[in-house]
Amino acid sequence: MTLNRDEIKQHGINISMSTVATLIPVLIFTWMLIKPAVVLAVGEQLNEQVRQTVAKEVAPINIALSVILRNNIENIRLQIAALEFKRDFPPADDWHNEDALALTRLENDLSSAEMAVTALASNGTT
């Protein structure tokens, strides 16, 4: 039995098509196996890039906030000192309940501002 050129060509095409048809499920299965690892690696890389970008963008804001908070702390300390002086050395009944409340509020504000600066410093931004 002899095959002519067209039959050999058609037979080669059939073999090629069956080979491709056989490889498609193998490739899909292989992709399903390696896809989670690829996605995980790409996801971790993107996560790290986003973290670095956000840290770089937020750092100046945190530094500015720290400076503002430190300035606020100094102003509160000055106001507290003025009220304590007024309390300790009042000129003729000049110390009132409102002054005591203001002093308490300022002391609370001072404590809050100092805690905020400490929190910023613990993040390594100051």
Gap between the Cα atoms of 100 and 98, Å rounded: 5
Q: How far is CA 92 from the centre of its chain?
A: 56
Nearest to 98, CA basis, from 114, 87, 85, 111 = 87
Quick check: pTM over 0.85?
Answer: no
Query: What pLDDT score was predicted for residue 74?
Result: 93
Q: Is the separation of the CB atoms in 120 and 65 below 8 Å?
A: yes
Per-residue pLDDT of the chain (126 residues; tens, 9 = 90+): 566 777 777 878 888 888 888 888 888 888 888 888 888 888 888 888 998 998 888 888 888 888 899 999 999 999 999 888 888 887 777 778 888 899 999 999 999 999 998 888 887 654
Q: Is the dihedral of CA 106, 111, 116, 121 positive or negative?
A: positive
Q: Is the separation of the CB atoms in 83 and 106 below 8 Å?
A: yes
For the chain, the C-alpha Rg in angstroms (whole number) is 37
Q: Is the separation of the CB atoms in 88 and 40 below 8 Å?
A: no
Gap between the Cα atoms of 101 and 79, Å rounded: 13
User: Where do the structural domains in the chain lie, given as residue ranges?
Assistant: 5-122
